[in-house]
Structure 1
Amino acid sequence: MTVSTVSLDDGDISVCEDGPGDAPVLLLVHGSASSARSWDALVPLLTGSHRVIRLDLLGHGRSAKPVDRSYAVPDQAARVGAVLERLGVGQAVVVGHSSGGVVATALAEQRPELVTALVFINTGPSLDAYIGPETALDPAQWPPSDEVLRQFASSGFSRVGYEMPAELLDEVRAMTFHSLVATMQATRVYLAERPLPARLAVVGKPLLVIFGEDDRRWRSSSAFDYQVAGAQVELLPGLGHSPLLEDPPRTAAALLAFTMAA
């Protein structure tokens, strides 16, 4: 793995690269309150056939966390496009987990020439599909304790009591309260403006939607809402909101079958 920093006007963006440099590019975009490390278990299953690029969106992981910059979805997507340009990437299959799929959609809207295909992993199509708990975090008690973080993250997995990896808890704790709240609010604003299936029907890119059938945040049947955009839908029984963590081999198998045919 090669880790580098791409300096943009808005701040530094941390980037990880794995796999052969001359292979087709897979760009992995994490969700809110997460980071590039959420893909750690999945990446080794992808590098046999792809150059895999991960980044920490502004406000997350090892990237900058400014208080005076926009965390709106279109601005995050513009930064992703700028990073690809700096890396000399002309085209990529873009994979987004949860709200990472929202950023991937905005990237395809802004820079269609960069995106050959899209893969969503448990990305809710609209606010109507949300079934998760309302988030209640106290800015006066930030950073939160492990107990509070585990409660906050618990709906991200298929079963109660799933132990979120300690390194991912650390990634949430490293965020500022402002960057966490601003990015989560930005996703809601973007989805409220226009649901993803309607946006993607205009974009016209090949689309795979992978969805853990036991998702406790987004109604899993809503995955079929993407069929208006011509999506291929793959439901994974027994998995929840984070198949990339809960069952990397099954997630990779679905992803690679699509990318090989795209």
Structure 2
Amino acid sequence: MNALDLPKFWPNRQYSQFISVDGVEWHVQTRGVGPAVLMIHGTGASSHSWAALADKLADRFTLVMPDLPGQGFSSALPPEEVCIEGFARRLQGLLQALGIRPKLLVGHSAGAVIATHLTLHAQFSPAAIISINGAFLPFGSAAAPVFNRLAQWLSKSRLLAYVTAAHGLFNRPVRNMLVETGSNPSAQMMQCYRELISRPDHVTGTLKMMAGWDLGNQRQLLPSLRTPLHLIACSNDRTVSPWQSERLSEFVACSKLYKIPDLGHLGHEEDPAPFADIIQATL
């Protein structure tokens, strides 16, 4: 696949490239000038999620915006690597191949978890991590194993992926899904998510990511984090409750909590301005 194969409406399409690293074909967008910022999207999204925020930051930062393996237009990881450690390790390999050492890490939802894992285990030390509605805490000791087993079962069904993809062609289900996160999606974002959900490989990759998501070890390591962690919580987030960021700020010493009113889980897509201000202020 190459950039010409992307949908013509795809945001920042002109900045897209495809690069193969250790058997994974990455779709990554690189845009802007200045210190490098790695931007890691959440589960079920892709680099398109950063489009509005990139418009605000590209004159001050070099933005590196990959699709995580198995999602968007990047190829999948081997099954045994579909976990927090696997995504982080492969991202580090991508950065090495690109010759980039990011000054900042920005992660949305599950992407924030990957960002902290990269910092705790990788060979570079960013100046700061910015978490946007970070999904750092498990559903609970009772619910988490049930959720993981269900996701594991669903991820093995290609029939489900094709049925979901066919369902994704219709406007209303996609809009309902996004509204349920507490956000008000733009027409462009709806078009992007509709495209992603119409792709069986993306649906399968998303389910496999959910199935392999084990936060137990990560939670134990977070108190040892020494890189400043900026926790942004949107008050209307119905996917990851704001209390997760509030609670995390209590046991990570070098953290700072920001509360943004009215916006939902996809707040950076709805209104990028307050997020851009926080990111710029970190440097």
Return the offset for 1:80: 0.8
Pick the aligned partner of 1:16 from 29, 32, 46.
29
Higher helix share: 2
CA 1:107–1:175: 2 relative to 1, 3 Å: farther
Task: State the 4+ residue runs in structure 1 displaced beyond 6 angstroms.
Answer: 134-137
Number of equivalent positions: 249
How big is each residue's C-alpha offset from its partner over 1:71-116, in whole Å with a ceiling of 9 and x where there is no partner?
2111111111111111111343110001111111221122052433
2:227 corresponds to 1:205: yes
C-alpha displacement at 1:202, in angstroms?
A: 1.3
Structure 1 residue 185 corresponds to structure 2 residue 211: yes
In the alignment, is the contact (CA less than 8 A) between 1:65 and 1:175 conserved in 2?
A: no
SS in 2 for 1:43: helix
Match of 2:132 among 118, 121, 125: 121
Q: Which runs of 5+ in 1 are unaligned?
A: none
**Which residue of structure 2 lines up, in the alignment, with residue 6 of structure 1?**
19
SS of the counterpart of 1:32?
coil
Q: Sequence identity, in percent?
A: 23
User: Which 5+ residue runs of structure 2 have no aligned equivalent?
Assistant: 1-13, 155-159
The equivalent of 1:242 in structure 2 is 266
1:220 aligns to 2:234 (yes or no): no
Give the distance between the partners of 1:79 and 1:209, measured in 2 at CA. 24
Partner of 1:154: 179
The answer to whether the Cα contact below 8 Å between 1:31 and 1:97 also exists between their aligned partners in 2 is: yes
Which stretch of the first structure deviates more once superposed, 147-156 or 58-67? 147-156
TM-score by length of 1: 0.85
Alignment RMSD (CA, Å): 2.6
Deviations 1:160-212 (A, max 9, x none): x876521122123325243121111223x2x13442xx422213111101111
- Which among 85, 88, 93 is matched to residue 96 of structure 2? 85
Equivalent residue letter for 1:41:
A
Structure 1 segment 16-165 matched on structure 2, within 5 A: 16-20=29-33, 23-65=34-76, 68=79, 70-128=81-139, 138-139=160-161, 141-143=163-165, 144-145=167-168, 146=170, 147-158=172-183, 164-165=189-190
